[in-house]
Structure formats: structure tokens, C-alpha cells
């Protein structure tokens, strides 16, 4: 903050806070309408360092060249570059987003629906995320601006993506390439899947007036019918089948980032059912079929939510912002803790509203996380995975906190392995000491059950080959799963410690 004594004005500068390591980093590709303050971005050393570490130094060099020389080669897309399209940007506060995209909250997007209007949902999700976590630093949210002209395709994995060259990756692929991100959400993909013509709560129908004689040429208006001009009507928009969206997203996560999880809202029925919009029965049927076939294993990385949210100032919004914020906050306390039945927001109401019977049916029969409003607070009734962990169909194996803990565990062990990248001597005690210290801290914090550490975990060291080292680990988590087995290994041919054998 700076104060100018000449005109007694106070100017706020959204400087990034001191670098810190969040327990759970979140990525949200989405739409950022309006201009981008890319000159301000180049002045933020902390954000620039993180972007360069993620592998996008070349993009920043282009922006610096444009700032200093005012031009770029003819083949450069200056419009996309200056709007920061496709560039992963780490945010530590809502103020940073508002400075970086000053018109995002006031500029309409290209797609309009009757229910949601034309406001982009990424700015709303960013606001929801930091409204919950701003007082509990550190939090880090990666946003990746997506070109609106690409519609739904801009959020799906590219079939010809080259993971050795990030310039050929789409927005979703770039989110998966961020190594410390554990949760990804796509609020504007959900918005594009809202049917354009789906009506809101229908207008009150008044009885027809009694017949009366009127002279020719008189105009009669019943004062309650809605008048629309042709240019005000929502434009038709092709919706993608929910099964296609879910298969592509979950399949790519399973292949590229098995430690990452996806938050996604269920779509609405395209025709509606009368008083209020309703969940898509076709999407529920597609979900049930996918759960029963061989692709069910990819669904354990997906948490499906319903319904959407509404407030006096927001006609419709996704719930991923408030849910992801609470997940990040709970992970700081313990990655094994659930966000179910915890207050998420006091301003939002679920829409369409659900009664208790419908909510229970969606949770138990379809494994959805249902949002309910209780005692003036928005809450997630239970964390549910679309499929059970390790293919286990039991109820406790479909708990979202189980999958979130396993993903966090893999990322933490990978970081630990990076510290030991050159240690392959089986006589060196440091790798085992670090592992015992890591799991000992988990036991002390209550993540593992057992009176003594020896009852909570076991570590067996082996040497499967020359210049190779492997640790087989068993842990007894606090939630009702018997044991989790995993292995961490390092050989002279590998470039890093490998995490495998999770089961």
C-alpha cells in the first residue's frame, strides 16, 4: 500500500505474499473476458519465477520483447499473447486476479443462456476460492485463460498433444503438467454445458381475460406477457454428451496424473421438468453405464457435484470454487480430513433446490456430492467419488478424502524422492530415515491408526538390482481401509525415484 501526500489518496498494490508451500494447489482453466494487464504481470517477480519454473519462460520472453520493442515476428499471435491465453498463472489472492484481469467481472462472454446469462464463471470461482481461504494462507490457485472461440474443445485434452513441448498442449493438459497441482476444476466448461434455451422458474400464468368487443384498430395488451426482440434471444449452442466429456477428462488424468482429482458438476436436463430445471437423467444413465464397464477405474479420480449455486447477485454459478477452497483449507489441517457437512458459504443457495429424499437418492444411488443449505449455511452432505478406490465398491472406498489423501501421499513421496535423487547406495541410511520420519509425523498427527508407530506403518528395504534401491511401505490409515501398500524405488537408469505399486 502506498500513500500520496500531495492528493491524500491511497493506492493498493496487489503484491504477492511471501513464498510458501500450499498443502493443496488447485488449477482452473477458464474464460477471462476483457483485457489482461500483462505489463503488471511482468513486474511481479514471485509470480514470474513460478511461471518460469513451470516451463513457460519463452512466453514471458515474448512479452518482454513486446514491452521493450513494441513488435514481434509476423507469425506471433499478439492478441492471444497479450490476453495471456494458455499461460498458467499462480494466484495468491483475489486482488491479484482483479488487477491482472480488471474487466473480467464486468465484460460478458460470447455464450449466453437464460439461466446463467453471459457472465464467465472463472472469475466467480476465483472469488469464491479466495473468499474462503484468504484468511488461511498459504493458498495457491493456478488459472489458465482459455480462448472463448474454442468453446468446449478448449477445455478437453488435445488428441495430438506433445508432452515434450508445452506449446502444443491445451489448457487442460497444461493444468495436468503442473507437478504440485492436486485438484483441477473447469467452471466455464460447466457453463458452456448449460442449455441455452432452458427456462428458469416459469412466469406466473394469469387467467385469460373475459371476451369483450373492441373496435377494429385498437391494440390490446394483457400487461404480463414477455416481449422479446430477435437479437435478445439466446443463441443456440451445441452441447457435448456428458459421457464424452467425462471419459476424455478422467481418462487423461488416469494416464498422466493418477495423483490428481477432478471436480465437475453434473449437467442439467435440456428440456426441464416443469417448475425448476432438473439434473440430466441421460447423464445419470451414462454415468451408471460407465461405472459398470471397464472404464470405471478412471472414475475414482472424479468427484461429481450437484446442484449449482445462486445468490441475489449471481443468477447461476458453479460450486467448484467454494468446494475447492474448503478442500485446500482442510488439506492444510490434514489431507485425510473430509469437507463433508462443513460450512462453505452463507450467501449461496443450491439451485435447483433439492429435498432431502432427492439428495439422498443422488448420493446413494449415483455417488454424487450433493450441496444442501442447512441453518443458513451451504454444505456438502458427503464426499463421494464416482467409483471406489482400487475398484472397491464399498461405501467407505468411495469417500473423497480417501482419494485426496492418496494423491497427496504420492506427491509428497515424489518430493521426498527428488531430495534423494542421487542416493542409491543401499548402505546409506538417509532414505530410510527420511521415510520413517515422514510417516512418523503422519502417525503423530492422527493420519495413521495404531498406538505405536510400528503398528501404523512398516518399511521394508530391498535391492532388486545393481545400483537400485526399493522401499516397500504399508500404512494403516485412520479411515476404514485396512492397509495401503506402495513402493518407492530408484535405479541408476532412472532419472528420479518412482512411486508405484499403489494398492
Q: Tell me the pLDDT tens digit for each residue of 223-232.
A: 555 555 545 5
pTM for the predicted model, two decimal places: 0.84
Single out the residue of 186, 123, 126 nearest to residue 151, CA to CA.
186
Other CB atoms within 10 Å distance of the CB of residue 368:
25
- The DSSP bridge partners found for residue 10 are 3
Which three-class secondary structure state does DSSP give residue 94?
helix
pLDDT per residue as tens digits for the range 354-382: 989 999 999 988 889 999 998 889 999 88
What's the N-to-C CA distance of the chain in angstroms? 51
Give dist(CA 474, CA 483) in Å, integer.
7
Which three-class secondary structure state does DSSP give residue 311?
coil
- Please give the share of the chain, as a percent, with pLDDT higher than 90: 42
Residues 169 and 183: beta-carbon distance below 8 Å: no
Retrieve residue 71's grid coordinates. 513488435
Calculated CA dihedral for residues 104, 107, 112, 113, nearest 10 degrees: 70
Residue for grid cell 462472454: 109
pLDDT number for residue 122: 97
Domain spanning 423-500: CATH 1.10.150.120: no
Single out the residue of 32, 43, 159, 162 nearest to residue 85, CA to CA.
32
Give dist(CA 220, CA 229) in Å, integer.
19
Per-domain residue ranges for the chain?
A: 25-36+83-196+239-387, 423-500
Residues 30 and 121: beta-carbon distance below 8 Å: yes
Tens of each residue's pLDDT in the chain, 503 residues: 444 434 444 444 544 444 456 778 999 999 999 999 999 999 999 999 999 999 999 999 999 999 988 878 877 788 899 999 999 999 999 999 999 999 999 999 999 998 999 999 999 999 999 986 544 556 899 999 999 999 999 999 987 777 778 888 999 999 999 999 999 999 999 999 999 888 776 555 556 666 666 666 555 555 555 555 545 544 556 789 999 999 999 999 988 898 899 999 999 998 765 567 899 999 999 998 888 775 667 888 899 999 999 999 999 999 999 999 999 998 888 888 889 889 998 899 999 999 899 999 999 888 899 999 988 899 998 888 887 776 666 666 677 888 888 888 888 888 887 776 555 566 778 888 888 898 899 889 888 888 888 888 888 887 766 666 778 888 888 765 656 666 666 555 544 445 554 55
pLDDT number for residue 11: 46
Single out the residue of 64, 35, 32 nearest to residue 48, CA to CA.
64
Single out the residue of 434, 423, 406, 430 nearest to residue 469, CA to CA.
423
Q: Is the dihedral of CA 76, 77, 82, 85 positive or negative?
A: negative
| Rounded-to-5 percentages of helix, strand, coil across the chain | 35, 15, 45
Amino acid at each position: 500500500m502506498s500513500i500520496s501526500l500531495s492528493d491524500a489518496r491511497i493506492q493498493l498494490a496487489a503484491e504477492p505474499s511471501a513464498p510458501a508451500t500450499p498443502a493443496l494447489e488447485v488449477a482452473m482453466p477458464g474464460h477471462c473476458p476483457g483485457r489482461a494487464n500483462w505489463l503488471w504481470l511482468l513486474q511481479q517477480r514471485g509470480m514470474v519465477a513460478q511461471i518460469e519454473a513451470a516451463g513457460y519462460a519463452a512466453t514471458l520472453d515474448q512479452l518482454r520483447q513486446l514491452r521493450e520493442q513494441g513488435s514481434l515476428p509476423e507469425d506471433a499471435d499478439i492478441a492471444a499473447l497479450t490476453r495471456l491465453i494458455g499461460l498458467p498463472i499462480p494466484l495468491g489472492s483475489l486482488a491479484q486476479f482483479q488487477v491482472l484481469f480488471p474487466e473480467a467481472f464486468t465484460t460478458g462472454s460470447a455464450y449466453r443462456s437464460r439461466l446463467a446469462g453471459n457472465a464467465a464463471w472463472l472469475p466467480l470461482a476465483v472469488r469464491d476460492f479466495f473468499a474462503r481461504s484468504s484468511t488461511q494462507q498459504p493458498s495457491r490457485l493456478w488459472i489458465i485463460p482459455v480462448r472463448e472461440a474454442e468453446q468446449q474443445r478448449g477445455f478437453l485434452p488435445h488428441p495430438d498433444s506433445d508432452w515434450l513441448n508445452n506449446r502444443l498442449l491445451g489448457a487442460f493438459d497444461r493444468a495436468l503438467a503442473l507437478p504440485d497441482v492436486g485438484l483441477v476444476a473447469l467452471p466455464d466448461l460447466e457453463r458452456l454445458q448449460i442449455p441455452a434455451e432452458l427456462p428458469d422458474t416459469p412466469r406466473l400464468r394469469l387467467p385469460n381475460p373475459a371476451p369483450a368487443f373492441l373496435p377494429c384498430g385498437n391494440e390490446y395488451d394483457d400487461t404480463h406477457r414477455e416481449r422479446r426482440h430477435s437479437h435478445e434471444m439466446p443463441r443456440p449452442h451445441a452441447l457435448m454428451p456428458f459421457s464424452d466429456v467425462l471419459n476424455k477428462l478422467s481418462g487423461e488424468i488416469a494416464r498422466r496424473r493418477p495423483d490428481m482429482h477432478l471436480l465437475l458438476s453434473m449437467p442439467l436436463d435440456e428440456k426441464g421438468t416443469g417448475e425448476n430445471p432438473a439434473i440430466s437423467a441421460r447423464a445419470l444413465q451414462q454415468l451408471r453405464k460407465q461405472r459398470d464397464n471397464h472404464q470405471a477405474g478412471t472414475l475414482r479420480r472424479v468427484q461429481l457435484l450437484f446442484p449449482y449455486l445462486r445468490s441475489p447477485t449471481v443468477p447461476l454459478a458453479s460450486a467448484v470454487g467454494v468446494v475447492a477452497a474448503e478442500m485446500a483449507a482442510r488439506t492444510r489441517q490434514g489431507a485425510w480430513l473430509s469437507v463433508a457437512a462443513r460450512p462453505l458459504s452463507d450467501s449461496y443457495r443450491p439451485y435447483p433446490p433439492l429435498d432431502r429424499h432427492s439428495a439422498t437418492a443422488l448420493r446413494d444411488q449415483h455417488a454424487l456430492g450433493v450441496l444442501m443449505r442447512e441453518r443458513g449455511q451451504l454444505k456438502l452432505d458427503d464426499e463421494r467419488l464416482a467409483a471406489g478406490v482400487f475398484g472397491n465398491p464399498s461405501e467407505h472406498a468411495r469417500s473423497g478424502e480417501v482419494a485426496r489423501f492418496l494423491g497427496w501421499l504420492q506427491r509428497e513421496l515424489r518430493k521426498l524422492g527428488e531430495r534423494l535423487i542421487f542416493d542409491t547406495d543401499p548402505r546409506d541410511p538417509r532414505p530410510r530415515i527420511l521415510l520413517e520420519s515422514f510417516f512418523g509425523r503422519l502417525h503423530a498427527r492422527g493420519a495413521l491408526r495404531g498406538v505405536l508407530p510400528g503398528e501404523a506403518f512398516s518399511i521394508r528395504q530391498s535391492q532388486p538390482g545393481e545400483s537400485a534401491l526399493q522401499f516397500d511401505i504399508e500404512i494403516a490409515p485412520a479411515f476404514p481401509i485396512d492397509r495401503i501398500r506402495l513402493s518407492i524405488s530408484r535405479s541408476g537408469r532412472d532419472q528420479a525415484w518412482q512411486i508405484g505399486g499403489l494398492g
